[in-house]
């Protein structure tokens, strides 16, 4: 009788551990291949400012706000679009880990993030309208 109780207890503990592990934050989706940023002429472009605040809801359950007036500088491009890095600050996104993230824009839409530490691209499920313009 005692061994049945102990076996049942261990099964319950194992089930709780599996549920607990499954409940952890999802990782940030990344491209499988390293994506180096092509930087030709990027340094000569002027800083740009975000024209309207954009709230990004990540598939990990976290959300980030890209504030109106925040400054970004072109870092180059990847096949998905132009890469903009923040000026004077560090922008991050969060999943299982916190990643430094740069914006990837295409046709005035935020399509994803470039993760410079991983040289990877993380796409948004749906692109978000985002207009950046000259600093006023």
Tens digit of pLDDT per residue, the chain (136 long)? 555 655 665 555 555 554 444 444 444 554 434 566 666 555 667 899 999 999 999 888 889 999 999 999 999 999 999 999 999 999 999 888 899 999 999 999 999 999 999 999 999 999 999 999 988 6
For residue 40, being part of any structural domain is answered with no
112 within some domain: yes
Domain-embedded: residue 2: no
Residue 3 covered by a domain: no
Number of domains in the chain: 1
* CA–CA distances in Å: residue 134 to residues 38, 45, 64, 92: 22, 10, 23, 23
pLDDT for residue 42: 53
- Taking the whole predicted model, whether its pTM rises above 0.75 is answered as no
100 domain residue, yes or no = yes
Q: Is residue 12 part of a domain?
A: no
Helix (H) / strand (E) containing 18: helix 2-22
Residue 1 inside a domain? The answer is no
Q: Give residue 115's domain range.
A: 47-131
């Amino acid at each position: 009788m005692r061994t049945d109780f102990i076996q049942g207890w261990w099964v319950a503990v194992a089930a709780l551990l599996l549920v607990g592990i499954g409940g952890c934050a999802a990782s940030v989706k990344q491209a499988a291949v390293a994506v180096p940023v092509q930087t030709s002429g990027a340094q000569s472009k002027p800083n740009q400012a975000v024209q309207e605040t954009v709230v990004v809801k990540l598939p990990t359950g976290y959300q980030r706000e890209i504030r109106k007036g925040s400054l970004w500088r072109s870092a180059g491009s990847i096949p998905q679009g132009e890469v903009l890095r923040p000026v004077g600050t560090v922008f991050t996104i969060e999943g299982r880990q916190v990643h430094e993230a740069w914006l990837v824009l295409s046709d005035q839409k935020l399509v994803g993030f470039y993760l410079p530490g991983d040289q990877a691209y993380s796409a948004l499920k749906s692109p978000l309208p985002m207009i950046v313009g000259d600093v006023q």
